[in-house]
Amino acid sequence: MFSVPKKNIRKAVDRNQIKRLLRESYRLNKVNIQNLEFNYFIMFLYLSDKPSDFKEINEVVKKLLDNFSRKLKA
């Protein structure tokens, strides 16, 4: 689940683009958590007050999923 608060990003167009970028980044990096023993519900909440590009978002999502996977396997 992906959420971009209206309080932080006022324009719906910008919020929707950020959500599309988050979904694409998750799709590309979900292989890191697919081999876990249990299923988990993950929610991404975008808290920045300015839009980011795909490269920045992808790096953060990859790092988050790697850390999540590593902590659950330990």
List the pLDDT tens digit at each of the 74 positions of the chain: 999 999 999 999 999 999 999 999 999 999 888 887 888 899 999 999 999 999 999 999 999 999 999 988 87
Going along the chain from its start, the domains and CATH numbers come out as 2-73 (3.30.2330)
Give the residue among 20, 19, 29, 14 at the shortest CA–CA distance from 61: 29
pTM: 0.89
Length of the chain in terms of residues written: 74
Give the residue among 36, 33, 35 at the shortest CA–CA distance from 44: 33
